[in-house]
Amino acid sequence: MRAVEPWVVAPLRAFVAESSARLALLMTSSGQVVAQHGFVGALDLMSVAALGAGIVASSSELAVTVGWEPFRVVAHQGKEQAHFLAWFDTPRGRWIALVVFGSETKLGLVRVFFEQLVEDLAAAAPPEEEPRREVLAADFERELNASLRALFGR
Amino acid sequence: MIEDIRTLSAQYAADPASLVFLRLGEALRQRGQVDAALKVALQGLGRYPHLPDAHDLYARILTDRHDYATAFDEWDTALRHAPHHIGAHKGIGFLYYRAGEREQALYHLRIAASLDPDDLGLRHAVERVGGGAEIWDMPMPDAPPPREASAAAAGPSSAAVPNPADPFAGMDGGHDRLLLVDADGLRLGGGLAAPDGRNVSDEAAALLAATTREAARAARLLELGGWAHLTLEGEALSACLLMPSPETSLLAAMDTALPAGQLTYFADRAAKAARAWLERVQ
Amino acid sequence: MTSQFQAMLDGLTRLRGVRGALVVSLEDGLVVAESVMGGLKGGALAAIGATLAGRAVELSGRGGFGRPRFLHLQGDDGALLVAPGHDLALVALAGRDVPIGMLRLEMLRTAERLG
């Protein structure tokens, strides 16, 4: 497990252990990776983060278009694996969780422990020392690369 | 047809040295009075230690009690006294089949069928083990090399005879209804046979530890306190899972038709035996 | 259909010591219908019951026990009871000192109506 922000590690570790998730990824709504568990390659991680953020954005847009509240959770059930994608608000802004799980657990259990994760992250977040600035497009790649170095130890 | 137990008991009481104990023991066994049948069989064997039918009766009762290793030895003894004993060939054939030793099973069942060609049940058994009616067109094979009795009786992947290394030595179901595994799902002792006789010990062992872990987690998350047991009623067998020690899991199984309350009693007794064994070996 | 389930569940939660009863989807462990006392999280009970049932189904299959009809997890302070059907399961949480035999019969009867 690797995290850009160390305070995320304990809640995410507990979530992975309890939910039996195979892969877990926490990212900001702009696709910056905050923490990951189980990914072995930087390329996989980058693609998954970008696609996950994209799915949340497009499904939220779809909900708005038809006049509903934005979907908070999107779950896809495959034959061997399933994934759970959800956004949530933290003291550091809106984040997205992407969880890949198999037959050893169930969507209901992942949801239950996801709710716990959201509470644990809110409790663990240290107070911010300075106001966060918006992530600019120009900074995105540099920040992503910095995050990947932290997440994979390179 | 089951003979009248009262009449046979009276005859046996009148002449304890007679061979009526064979009929009385079998009648009791068929009525499900296994303990009484066992007593009669052992008294008979005491008088007639070289009588093949007495060993055959005793072996059938032991099979009812799931003590397959001793049953095998008894039928083997019967065959040493009477190489053409139909019951002993049938019994040993059954035990080999149960242990997954098809070739050995077929050999003994075919001998039994050749000795009693009118036994349709036996013919069906031969066809089932042999893969169809074509088996009768095949020549009778030579005797395959015999396996160690206890290994055949316990199953292909089971540890051998009841001995001090066996946590359930001397317990009913110790080889096919009680299974003790470590935290990694590796078998420590006992065994499990499916209702069709297949040895499923290792397959079940791998899942047993994971299931007890899940049970412990459910109890923790639902704030049920320390969990005592998980019982599982299946259509054919019921099982009780518990943890005799923090690092081991135990499964005790019984026919679903038996009273449900007996299951936890059986499991508790097995857990005590497992704990005593763990203390000895650790 | 959900209101039909609701009536079944209300019948179970009227029994002494039953803190909650749910109809749960076995595949994903989500709540289909629930009748739970305040303070009890139906979603968690559903997910935990379905996960345990999933393990039991797997163990029953490997052990040749036949399809599981009933599960009973007994703890010092209560019991989790599950009657798995084909796609749905009936899950109940009972407090301490509840006569499990009676509840078991009632759950098996109710589970038959789930199909």
Read off φ and ψ for residue B187, nearest 5 degrees.
Answer: -75, 130
CA B105 to chain centre: 16
CATH number, domain with residue B261? 3.30.450.30
For residues A116-141, one letter each, b for 16 or more C-beta atoms within 10 angstroms of the residue's C-beta and e for the rest, the string is: bbbebbeebeeeeeeeeeebeeeeee
- Residue B3: pLDDT above 90? no
DSSP character string of A103-133: TTS-HHHHHHHHHHHHHHHHHHPPPPSSPPP
Q: Which helix (H) or strand (E) holds C73?
A: strand C70-75
CA B149 to chain centre: 13
Please state the domain count of chain B.
2
Q: Which helix (H) or strand (E) holds A35?
A: strand A33-37
CB contact under 8 A, C64 and B223: no
Distance CA A113, CA A13 (A): 11
Distance CA C47, CA C57 (A): 15
Res B151: pLDDT: 53
Identify the closest residue of chain C to A102 by CA–CA distance: C28
Full domain range(s) for residue B239: 159-281
Average pLDDT rounded to a whole number, residues B31-35:
89
Q: Do residue B124 and residue B40 come from a single domain?
A: yes
Please report the residues numbered 28 through 87 in chain C whose beta carbons come closer than 8 angstroms to any beta carbon of chain B.
44-45, 48-49, 51-52, 55-56, 58-60, 62-80
Q: Do residue B42 and residue B113 come from a single domain?
A: yes
What spatial distance separates the first Cα and last Cα of chain A, rounded to whole Å?
A: 14
Q: Do residue B124 and residue B30 come from a single domain?
A: yes
Q: For residue B219, give every residue at least 6 positions away whose Cβ sits within 8 Å of its Cβ, in sequence order, or none.
A: B225, B226, B227, C73, C75, C80
> CATH for A2-152?
3.30.450.30
Q: Do residue B107 and residue B170 come from a single domain?
A: no
Q: Do residue B142 and residue B15 come from a single domain?
A: yes
Confidence band (pLDDT; 50, 70, 90) for C115? low
Q: Do residue B144 and residue B35 come from a single domain?
A: yes
Say yes or no: A107 contacts chain C, CB-CB below 8 A: yes
Model confidence over C57-107: pLDDT tens digits?
999 998 989 999 999 999 999 999 999 998 999 999 999 888 888 899 999
Residues of chain A with pLDDT under 70: 41-43, 129-154
**Would strands B177-182 and B187-192 be described as parallel, antiparallel, or unpaired?**
antiparallel
- Residue B63: pLDDT above 70? yes
Least-confidence region, from A112-121, B167-176, B178-187: B167-176
Min distance B11 CA to chain C CA atoms (Å):
43
Which residues lie across from B80 on neighbouring strands? none
Res B53: pLDDT: 92
Out of B93, B124, B150, a domain closes at B150
Q: Do residue B136 and residue B19 come from a single domain?
A: yes
Q: Where are the domains of chain A?
A: 2-152
Comparison of pLDDT for B217 and C2, the residue scoring more: B217
Q: Do residue B32 and residue B89 come from a single domain?
A: yes
Instruction: Please list every residue in chain A whose beta carbon sits closer than 8 Å to the beta carbon of residue C50.
Output: 106, 108-109
Say yes or no: C24 contacts chain A, CB-CB below 8 A: yes
Amino acid residing at A104: E
**Do B88 and B59 meet the contact criterion of CB atoms below 8 Å apart?**
yes
* Torsion (CA) B101, B104, B108, B110 in degrees, nearest 10: 90
- Three-state DSSP string of B19-52: CHHHHHHHHHHHCCCHHHHHHHHHHHHHHCCCCH
Q: For residue C43, give every residue at least 6 positions away whose Cβ sits within 8 Å of its Cβ, in sequence order, or none.
A: A108, A111, A112, A115, C30, C31
Say yes or no: A57 contacts chain C, CB-CB below 8 A: no
Mean pLDDT of chain B: 84
Which of C25, C27, C47 is closest, CB to CB, to A109? C47
CATH number, domain with residue B89? 1.25.40.10
Q: Helix, strand, or coil here: B81?
A: helix
CA C16 to chain centre: 16
**Domain with residues C2-114, CATH architecture:** 2-Layer Sandwich (3.30)
What spatial distance separates the first Cα and last Cα of chain C, rounded to whole Å?
A: 12
Confidence band (pLDDT; 50, 70, 90) for B24? very high
**Do B99 and B136 meet the contact criterion of CB atoms below 8 Å apart?**
no
Q: Do residue B218 and residue B82 come from a single domain?
A: no
Res B163: pLDDT: 46
Read off φ and ψ for residue B134, nearest 5 degrees.
Answer: -65, -15
Model confidence over B92-103: pLDDT tens digits?
988 888 888 888
Q: Do residue B181 and residue B249 come from a single domain?
A: yes
Q: Say how many CA atoms lie within 13 Å of C51 toward its Cβ.
A: 31
Q: Helix, strand, or coil here: B255?
A: strand
- Residue B256: pLDDT above 60? yes
Q: Kindly state the tokens that stand for A4.
A: 């850009």
Q: Kindly state the tokens that stand for A112.
A: 């239950």
Res A64: pLDDT: 86
Closest by CA position to B87, among listed B118, B62, B115, B68: B115
Q: Do residue B232 and residue B130 come from a single domain?
A: no
